[in-house]
Amino acid sequence: MAQRVGIIGFGQTYHRSHRDDVNGVELINEAVRAALEDAGLTIDDIDAVVIGNMDHFEAVNYVDTWSVDGSGAWMKPLIKLTTGGTTGSTLGIAGYHHAASGLFDVVLVIGWEKNSESDTTGAIITCSDPIFDRFSFSGALPGLAVEASAYIKRYGIKEEDAARVAVRDRAHGANNPYAQLQTPVTIEEVMQSPMLSWPIKLLDICPRSDGAAAVIFAGERKARQLCSQPAWVHYTAVRHSHTYFGDVDYTRLHTLEAAVQELYHHMGIKEPLKELDVVELYQPYSFAGLKWIEAMGLCKPGESPRLIWDGVTDMGGELPFNPSGGVICTNCIGATGLLRIGEAALQVMDRAIGRQVPDVNLALATGFGGAYWSDLMLLGKKPW
Amino acid sequence: MSRSAEENIIFDGRIRMPYKWAAGETSSYFLTQLRDHAKLWGTRCSVCQVIFIPPRKNCPRCVTADTTWVELPSRGVLQTFAVIYFSEPLLQPSEPPYIYGIVKLDGADTGLTHFLGEVAPGELRSGMRMEAVFKNKEDRSGLITDLLYFRPEGGSAS
Amino acid sequence: MTDIAIVGMAQTPYRRRRDDANFAELIYGVTCEALDDAGLEIGDIDNFITVSNDFWDGRTISSMAVQDACGSSFDGGRNVSTVEGDGTFGLLYGMMRILSGAYQTTLVVVHCKGSEGNMRLITNGMFDYIYTRPLGIEATGAAALQARRYMDKYKLTEEDFAHVSIKNRGNALRNPNAQLAETLSLDQVMASKPIASPLKLHDISPISDGAAAVVLAHRNVANKLGRKPVWVKGIAHCSEAHFLGDRDLAEAPALRDAAFRAYQMAGIEDPFAEIDLVELYDAYSYMEPLWFEELGFCPKGKGAELIRLGATAFDGPLPVNPSGGVLSAHAVLVAGLARVIEASLQIRGEAGERQVEGPVELALAHGINGPCGQSHCVVILGE
């Protein structure tokens, strides 16, 4: 029987560029034990486990069965999902459906990556079609640079506008003891950082991180029994539309537009800027913090710089983005989308120590990956 | 639309990527003990009391990180074995045929998968006593293959 | 009993190489056929599950290759997710997304082209990289360790396992989709080339290319369609330890646990008496009796004897793998969903030449993940 679902626990590692002191299985276990402790549970309380990452970052096939020693899935139902950058949000959504289906009551969801163990770009390049795309337009950076330059050209956006987004997230990251990058940066520092692929500079883009995240979802009865303030799952929406990078319209992020329209329509949200209280945006580089908030309908196309410079999305602003510091401060890729969900849950649960936004009723977490795909999960203080 | 072509083109590809896998502190201790002292160590879960080899930082069953080191002898009992005849030069460490076995070291609760050596396949029986043969110290490099293979206890059976 | 039914299905023939079609083209084909089978159009589908594996496909984010082909990008895009594992796990997650109340209909698609990769390297990649991979161990070497342990513990012989290959490859003669269909003699199997002793060439499944699709629907939709729905009456999955040495390879406690919960959901008390047909994941001959026993059809160690006596033959009291099973076609991720499709065709009475005698009211399908069946999914299907 279908049931409502709440998040009742969240654990994460202290994310770093290199975690040579643990292997992948042990890194996973750190997040699992942190989540169990956070929820006040033992592994015996877990009914099913969901795990994912991106295979080619560590060259581990069948990560679900390989990682059982760390995930605690020994003699438990176990499934693996992976969808590229959206893996973490895909996992969180799967945790929701596991519990919502009524088949399982308490579900442990794990996302992780040890990006230090491989050449990140080398691994990402293999996502492209081997015959038509892989030899040319490939890897994360070229696509993002095309998106950014198309956006700049169309709306007269300045590189400084994007730098302001990076400055915001790096300032927020200073409040998050788990973030990999915890030092604030200035507009000048961003502008003077090395150019990677115009207009993207080093400080515009996310780092590569080693880290893991674990989120515990529970059906309504269990959630109420085990947690005084669960973060209730209100809605999820997903668009993984494209196969070829050449099919993407780089002037807009259609997948995010379609997913938020589905979500707003379903939830009756008419003025997202007013109705949402906090957003954890899967924002792998600064320009996304401009263009994608337009796709979310927070302002008209081309008008996002005003919101950013006015501090609307800063801590203390009308709709704070990425109180955790977001992806620009930490990007352990298979965990990244799940970190957005976990951090959004902490905001709803009023437990985001050092980075809490006051009076959060609704929190939105997003995922991004693949060929410009988008995932959404809306969390709320009361069950919906 | 007719999609039949005169020929079907096959595109050769190979993903060749370098990886740097961290063994982590726990396995690093095991591997350096193997390299420097030809010793095998397991871990005991303080809750379940199960002794695991390879060693685990956390118990795989109850997930506690409260585990302690246990030195294990390099002798034990053969659980099962397989004789490899197929050839895959991209993968195999030596020319087939060669033999895999799982050996449960005395005192351990789990078995260690490794090669068997100094024995003909026909002489192998599950339940046999086996002992580890290590590489010479100067050849050991901190890999699981510093343990060369297990052979029937007391030396070669053949 | 659940509220979910299989209302459409399709699979490709399984062949050693499908040079004529890439992943997307295989998926497009089975998608169209499964929708036709269900009497639905792509616009009727509100949820998609793709199943793929980055290692087998030689591509990270392997699901990218089939998003257009399965229709998830239709009409500005639909809700979609991707499972990496056996197709039965994709079916399971597709079901969950309907049971949660979020969606009404789900298309599950799965593809694999074993011909395009190197099975030995790919399956070596599923073992831990510190202790096991450096030994060069891969799926078949590990399976040989399991086969030997199973033989030793329950006093079985290589001949016992040979009878599985004889039965299943013989059954495959009735299945046009099978890749290896042949009449084998005991001598032929026993004299076949040793690959990883005790496993010989005829004990081992082939490497195959193929794809499959299943349309799932909630009761509300299923009952309105013309086709006879095949109900998912029970489903459960479970994993055990990873290191081979942590396991007693002659036992499959994870399968026992999954079967127990699937039977509970389906209200089955005596599986041998109640279930009419079994399609299980026999990647190697020894796996059929081992899984059969852990599914509770007979006492431990007795599965081989039942096979020898013909109890699981095509015309026996409980046919096992009348399709020819995985021993006759093994498009890895597809193979579990192919078991589901074969069992469902039998329930519909549409299995053609391979339709077994007598009605099939209740059938079991099974899929595995990881080395030596570390993780299992059990599906109970019924009228």
- Euclidean distance between CA atoms C10 and C12, whole angstroms: 7
Say if residues B144 and B31 touch (Cβ distance below 8 Å). yes
Helices A140-155 and A288-295: crossing angle in degrees, nearest 10, is 70
Task: Using the CB atoms, write b or e for B122-136: b if 16+ within 10 Å.
Answer: eebebebebbbbbbe
Interface list for A 231-260 with C (CB within 8 A) = 236-244, 247, 254-255, 258-259
Helices C87-99 and A87-100: crossing angle in degrees, nearest 10, is 60
Give the confidence band of B77 by pLDDT, cuts at 50, 70, 90.
Answer: very high
For residue B100, the distance in angstroms to the closest alpha carbon of chain A comes to: 20
Q: What share of chain B is helix, strand, coil (3-state, %, to 5)?
A: 15, 30, 55
Residue A308: in which H helix or E strand, if any?
helix A304-309
Nearest residue to A178 (alpha-carbon basis) of A18, A337, A16, A34: A16
Nearest residue to A337 (alpha-carbon basis) of A165, A85, A115, A124: A85
One-character DSSP codes across C219-239: HHHHTTSSSPPEEEEEEEEEE
pLDDT, block means (10 residues), chain A with 384 residues: 94 98 98 98 98 96 98 98 97 98 98 95 87 79 93 96 98 98 98 97 98 98 98 97 83 93 98 98 98 97 97 98 98 98 98 98 97 96 94
Arithmetic mean of pLDDT, C207-222: 97
Predicted local distance difference test score (pLDDT) of residue B154: 87
Does any domain span residue B97? yes
Task: Using the CB atoms, write b or e for C161-179: b if 16+ within 10 Å.
Answer: bbbbbbbbbbbbbbbebbb
Domains in chain B, number: 1
Say if residues C95 and A102 touch (Cβ distance below 8 Å). no
**Ramachandran angles phi, psi of B3, nearest 5°:** -110, 5
Which amino acid appears at position C47 of this protein? N
Contact list, A59 vs chain B (CB under 8 Å): 17, 19
Say if residues C53 and A61 touch (Cβ distance below 8 Å). yes
Nearest residue to C253 (alpha-carbon basis) of C240, C270, C272: C240
Helices A87-100 and A333-349: crossing angle in degrees, nearest 10, is 50
Say if residues A338 and A86 touch (Cβ distance below 8 Å). no
Task: Give the rounded percent of residues in chain B with a pLDDT score beyond 90.
Answer: 85
Contact assignment for B23 to C136 by CB distance below 8 Å: no
Closest Cβ–Cβ partner in B60, B82, B113 for C197: B82
For residue C311, the distance in angstroms to the closest alpha carbon of chain A comes to: 31
Say if residues B44 and B51 touch (Cβ distance below 8 Å). yes
Nearest residue to A331 (alpha-carbon basis) of A112, A11, A121: A112
Map A26-65 to HEC letters: HHHHHHHHHHHHHHCCCHHHCCEEEEECCHHHHCCCCHHH
Question: Which spans in chain C are helix H?
Answer: 23-38, 54-57, 67-70, 87-99, 119-124, 139-154, 158-171, 186-191, 219-222, 253-266, 271-274, 287-294, 303-308, 325-328, 332-348
Predicted local distance difference test score (pLDDT) of residue B3: 65
- Tell me if the bond preceding C198 is cis, omega within 30° of 0: yes
Does any domain span residue B157? no
Chains touching C (at least 3 CB pairs under 8 A) are A, B
Instruction: Identify the closest residue of chain C to B109 by CA–CA distance.
Output: C246
**Cβ of residue C120 closer than 8 Å to a chain B Cβ:** yes
Residue B64's alpha-carbon distances to A48, A78, A142, B58, B67, in angstroms, are 18, 20, 44, 5, 7
Handedness of CA A179, A307, A199, C77 (dihedral sign): positive
Question: Residue A326 has which token pair?
Answer: 């977001």
Question: Residue B95 has which token pair?
Answer: 């020319």
One-character DSSP codes across C229-269: PEEEEEEEEEE--SSGGGS-TT--HHHHHHHHHHHHHHT-S
- Euclidean distance between CA atoms C22 and A82, whole angstroms: 21
- Tell me if the bond preceding A284 is cis, omega within 30° of 0: no
DSSP state of A324: T
Arithmetic mean of pLDDT, B91-99: 95
Predicted local distance difference test score (pLDDT) of residue A37: 98
Residue C212: in which H helix or E strand, if any?
strand C209-218
Does any domain span residue B17? no
Tens of pLDDT, residue by residue over A132-189, are 888 777 778 888 999 999 999 999 999 999 999 999 999 999 999 999 999 999 999 9
Contact list, C63 vs chain A (CB under 8 Å): 82-84, 240, 370
Handedness of CA C159, C164, C169, C171 (dihedral sign): positive
- Euclidean distance between CA atoms A310 and C134, whole angstroms: 57
Q: What angle do CA A69, A327, C57 make, to 5 degrees?
A: 55
Helices and strands in chain A: count of H runs, count of E runs: 16, 11
Residue B25: in which H helix or E strand, if any?
helix B24-37
**pLDDT at position B157 over 60:** no
DSSP state of A76: B
**Cβ of residue C259 closer than 8 Å to a chain A Cβ:** no
ipTM of the shown complex: 0.98
Say if residues A10 and A344 touch (Cβ distance below 8 Å). no
Q: What is the fold, at CATH topology level, of the domain defined by C4-118+207-222? A: Peroxisomal Thiolase; Chain A, domain 1 (3.40.47)
Give the confidence band of C2 by pLDDT, cuts at 50, 70, 90.
Answer: confident
Tens of pLDDT, residue by residue over C337-350, are 999 999 999 999 99
Nearest residue to B151 (alpha-carbon basis) of B93, B136, B128, B112: B128
What residue spans define the domains of chain C? 4-118+207-222
For residue B86, give its domain range.
24-152
Chains touching B (at least 3 CB pairs under 8 A) are A, C
Could you tell me the domains of chain A? 5-119+209-226 (3.40.47.10), 136-180+234-380 (3.40.47.10)
**pLDDT at position C289 over 90:** yes
Nearest residue to B54 (alpha-carbon basis) of A23, A7, A222, C29: A23
Tens of pLDDT, residue by residue over B101-120, are 999 999 999 999 999 999 99
**Cβ of residue C288 closer than 8 Å to a chain B Cβ:** no
Interface list for C 175-204 with B (CB within 8 A) = 193-199
Residue with tokens 């033959």: C313
Tens of pLDDT, residue by residue over C271-284, are 999 999 999 999 99
Does any domain span residue B12? no
Residue with tokens 């007795």: C302
- Euclidean distance between CA atoms A60 and A57, whole angstroms: 8
Residue C89's alpha-carbon distances to A50, C52, C85, C86, C344, in angstroms, are 12, 11, 7, 6, 17
Say if residues B103 and B76 touch (Cβ distance below 8 Å). yes
Contact assignment for A22 to B56 by CB distance below 8 Å: no
Closest Cβ–Cβ partner in B13, B60, B79 for C241: B60
Task: Using the CB atoms, write b or e for C223-240: b if 16+ within 10 Å.
Answer: eebebebbbbbbbbbbbb
Contact list, B27 vs chain A (CB under 8 Å): 23
Contact assignment for B58 to A68 by CB distance below 8 Å: no
Predicted local distance difference test score (pLDDT) of residue B158: 46
For residue C187, the distance in angstroms to the closest alpha carbon of chain B comes to: 20
A296-302 contacts at long range (C-beta below 8 A, 24 or more positions apart): A296/A256, A296/A260, A296/A272, A297/A257, A297/A260, A297/A261, A297/A264, A297/A272, A298/A272, A298/A273, A299/A273, A301/A155, A301/A252, A302/A154, A302/A155, A302/A156, A302/A157
Residue A347: in which H helix or E strand, if any?
helix A333-349
**Cβ of residue B13 closer than 8 Å to a chain C Cβ:** yes
Interface list for A 301-360 with C (CB within 8 A) = none
Residue C72: Cβ within 10 Å count: 30
Residue A295's alpha-carbon distances to A84, A269, A322, B7, C78, in angstroms, are 21, 15, 17, 45, 17
**pLDDT at position C50 over 80:** yes
Task: Give the rounded percent of residues in chain C with a pLDDT score beyond 70.
Answer: 100
Predicted local distance difference test score (pLDDT) of residue C190: 98
